[in-house]
Structure 1
Amino acid sequence: MSKKRKIMNAIKYIVLGLLSFLSIFPFFWMIVAATNRSVDVTRGTLIPGNYFMNNVKTLLASDLNYLLAFRNSIIIAVVTTAVAMIVSSAAGYAFEVYKTSTREKVFNFILLSMMVPFAALMVPLFRLFSKFNSMGALKIIGLNSPGAVIIISVATAFLIFFFRQNTKTFPKELIEASRIDGLGEFNIFLKVYMPTMKSTYAAALVVTFMSSWNSYLWPLIALQSPEKRTLPLVLSAFGSSYTPDYGMMMTAVVIATLPTAIIFFLMQKQFVAGMTGSVKG
């Protein structure tokens, strides 16, 4: 190996090392801060302490109901993800498999909705969901209910587009063979399409769960009672106090990060395969 090549490789490794350090350092600092007192965090200490359990006790004893918010976030994220997988995948499958004269027009209209910023939809959505509160059965998706947060995330334009693009790699011969064997369209989708596209579902599951778990703006508007708040709202409230306890705040953030981290690392291989459009049988 030439001297010039060695120098170039050394520069690459140095740059990659610096970028890796910059990526990992915020997580390292967050974990270290969760083990220290607030005064140690403000001093900028980078040495792990032994106050983690004290911070946990302080967190659970706070009047912001952290555990209740954690439960609310789990319920909303799990239900949103489960329903979104069914609804959005069915829409993406239908757009690709069933050919109609208006298919592309409807699909383009859905894609166009991605161009509209959510800030422009907040007032119309608020007025719409506020009317559901006085409409009997629709009260379950009215304001100040988990349904109001769940319903707007179960059929996003991105998920429909994602499933349709991945369905292009799905062997259409399997559909024809299933029809010949006498399977109905619903059973084809349920028993043939879904098991075959499991890597796509895994990628969509990770993205949807993380998006729902970290959602802040719409829950802030829709969930008005303290007992209905999700974790991002509670974490925001921790930082708004006159003298914030940074050790407790970082402990709350570390615990809030665990579900998404666990899901991502458990499904990392399937996530990569799904994002690259692979089909796993």
Structure 2
Amino acid sequence: MKKLGTFFKYFILIVASFISVFPFIWMILGMTNKTVDITAGKLMIGSELITNFQNLFANNLDFKRALLNSAVIAVIITVFSLLLSSMAGYGFEIYRSKKKDRIFNFLLLSMMVPFSAMMIPLYTMFSKLSPSPFGINTLFSVIIPSVCTAFNIFLFKQNIKSFPKSLVEAARIDGLGELAIFFKIYMPTAKNIYAAAAIITFMGSWNNYLWPLVALQSPEKRTIPLVLSAMGASYTPDYGMMMTGIVIATLPIAAVFFVLQKQFVQGMLGSVK
């Protein structure tokens, strides 16, 4: 009976794993085939890989420029979000007071507001900043709303609860300033939570579609999700070219995750405790 239970457990896990991995397998196979083969459900390696690559980078949607735009936006958002969110979380936990706790609770409430409800106020605000570098239809109009999020602040605040406060007191006695304590003592001990937050922030920025669709109106400012959406919106979409673009767009996220996956798990576990 025990062996039968073990068999069913592994059988369910294998089926679930296959269902999860199959879309990626189909996507990789699709980038080697023509549109007619993909729509026919062909699950074999084709001979159109080079042609699909050539069509992708020769397309008038400028896929290379979209890659650069997405990379710039995702990297800047990730770096500034980690810095500002960790400093905010550190401040809320280390310098606790009733007033700060109320402000933090208000920040948590902001997570319940759907982003679609904030688009009109955001668009109005950035429109008034035009034609400055921070106005609408600039990369900064996409970057600024995401440089510090309530979720990341919450993530760091929860992690700092397990940070030994005695280290802070000892550093103060030794004459270290508050910024020096943060950068020289806390940050080196919080690599795992920084890795977890980096993965979450980078993925969210790289895959962001709704706000860039509204804020970025010029073709040369498009990001990867906007270009992929435009490919599928044509009258006769080239699915082979689309699959190639999707695979290329997935590689940076996969690379970041696989490099930081160990720290990601440890960081998330540390924040949940």
TM-score (normalised: structure 1):
0.95
For 1:81, the aligned partner's letter is: T
Give CA deviations for 1:10-44 in whole Å, capped at 9, x if unaligned.
Answer: 11111111100000000000000011111111111
Among residues 32, 35, 38, which one is paired with 1:35 in the alignment? 32
Q: Which residue matches 1:250?
A: 243
Offset at residue 8 of structure 1 (A): 1.0
Stretches of structure 1 that go unaligned for 5 or more consecutive residues are none
1:168-206 CA-partner distances (Å, limit 9, x unpaired): 011111111111111100111111111110100000000
2:105 alignment partner in structure 1: 108
Match of 1:269 in 2: 262
How many residues are treated as equivalent by the alignment? 271
Who is 2:86 aligned against? Answer: 89
2:67 is aligned with what amino acid?
F
Instruction: Say what the alpha-carbon RMSD is for the aligned residues.
Output: 0.9
Any runs of at least 4 consecutive aligned residues in structure 1 with deviations exceeding 6 A, and if so which?
none
Q: Does 1:76 align with 2:69?
A: no
CA separation in 2, counterparts of 1:192 and 1:69?
Answer: 39
* Matched ranges for 1:24-173 at <5 A: 24-133=21-130, 139-173=132-166
- Aligned partner letter, 1:15: I
Q: Report the counterpart of residue 187 of structure 2 in structure 1.
A: 194
Separation in structure 2 between the aligned mates of residue 34 and residue 262 of structure 1, nearest angstrom: 19
Deviation digits for residues 190-227 of structure 1, max 9, x if unmatched? 11111110100000000000000000000001111100
Cα distance in 2 between the residues matched to 1:265 and 1:104: 36
What is the percent sequence identity of the aligned residues? 57
Q: CA deviation at 1:49?
A: 1.5
CA–CA separation in structure 1 for the residues paired with 2:50 and 2:87: 46
Q: Indicate the SS of the match to 1:141.
A: coil
- Secondary structure of residue in 1 paired with 2:169: helix
Quote the offset at 1:154 in angstroms.
1.2
TM-score by length of 2: 0.97
Name the residue aligned to 2:224. 231
Partner of 1:11: 8
Distance 1:99 1:20 in 2: 44
Distance in 2 between residues matched to 1:244 and 1:225, nearest whole Å: 22
CA shift at 1:153, angstroms?
0.8
1:33 partner letter: G
